[in-house]
Chains A and B, each alone.
Chain A
Amino acid sequence: MAIRKEAFIAAGGVVVVWQIAAFFFPPFLFPPVPAIFRQFLDIFTKGSQVSSALATFARILAGMAGAFVVGGLVAIAMGASKKVTRYCYPLLNFNQGIPALSWVVISIIWFKNTEFRIWFIIVMTTLPAFTFQIYDAYRAISKDLLEMSLSFHPNRVDLFRTLIWPGVVPGIVTAWKVNIGNVSRVVVVAELVGATNGVGYELLERQQLFDMAGAIAWTLVLVAFVVISQHAITLVERRVLRYRPESERSS
């Protein structure tokens, strides 16, 4: 994924507009760009802040991994059995309607352990998206290819390994790309209520101190994590989907 000059120009434009606003408004509304930049650098140089940022990244990845495993298994079960689909589909649809904040309240009441609460919230909010994306990829596997594979009379494990898994990989990659942004938003909400570190906790602290520069800096940390993660996923995608014609690959 090449970062185009237009992206830099657009980002530069926002920075310039912000800095102009900083000349006319008090710092608690529009802090100067250098102040935000200093705070941003501080996050990566002060031990406690680094661990706070890393805690959030770890929670995002652990939650997504959980949702991916559970969602993948449910999706495969749905793909293999129409009966399972008939039971799971409405439940997943129902789940999609539950706001992240409701899961926050439920997890606080249900669980004592903070990390497990956050993990649970991420899994529950991301599960439908992972499941539906993997399920759709499973259903999109060509019937022709399935017949061809079955004509060799493979066992189930080999059929999964050689046909099903490569067939759903594009769906899995898309699911990770789409969900990492969503999860980053959810984890902040989860950390706001109950965590003693993490980006959400730090944002809450900055809000209580009326520290806008700090709030922006922490927000940028999360944005940077999402952008870098998506870039990494795109690299993985280009590697695993290299068999596709150039025109069908991610740019």
Chain B
Amino acid sequence: MIISVASGKGGTGKTLVATSLALSLKDNHDVQLLDCDVEEPNDHIFLKPDITRSQAVGIPVPQVDKEKCTNCGKCAEVCAYNAIAVVKEYVLTFPELCHGCGACSYLCPEKAITEVPHDIGVVETGRAGGIAFGQGRLAIGQAMAPPVIRRVKALTDPDKLVIIDASPGTSCPVVEAVKDSDYCLLVTEPTPFGLNDLTLAVEMVRKLGIPCGVVLNRAGVGDGGTEAYCRKEGIPIHMTIPLDTGIAGLYSRGVTLAEGMPEYQKDFSELYRKIEEAVRA
């Protein structure tokens, strides 16, 4: 089973839920946690994994052999991203714009283009307690998160209970992280911002055809709008975490809720039971 944790709005508690869910289930399940928020991965701060393997993520970008190139311009014509330009007798490539589709090298009539990896980040794997851990890190200054996310997701072990921590928002990096999940947990807070972004996140998971449920964090702030929305849309609120300075304090120090307040472990186990039930239904 693959459970993804997403949110729309940032800072609502995805990392808190993903890490504590993993820790609460690890004694009874073979758990794998994949941090797919490759722009700002935070799970490692809480789980302090022992990283045993680190691999560069490169996307294949064109390299032009000047001896073979006839400046015909076919490569620039077929590139949808303006990542290659033919200027007089030069071919200029812009690796940071390249998506690595391979059209230029395949279609070059002179076979003058080879593809070389352009590093955009790393994927790291290891273990944290009894949890198999994987994360991606987009390199500073790089724009494209999805190829790094794809590489993190390639670590998915189908025999394990996989928890995927996604980035905030509803655009391509989130879709890349969430798609193919059996269930998506949407973490939100009961404020107008939390509600607005939850509605966008719900639209996203519905478009992907993934069943979803809500974890309401910092309950007690804000208003009742989020709960009313969930009721109206028939989206279950599986778990409520109160606004609590103790919880905020643990988070600020990089301590998971499941470890800092172990009484929450049964709530996270119960959360999993509800997810299992929803997936089976």
Are the chains A and B members of one assembly? no
Which residues of B line the A interface, CB within 8 A?
none
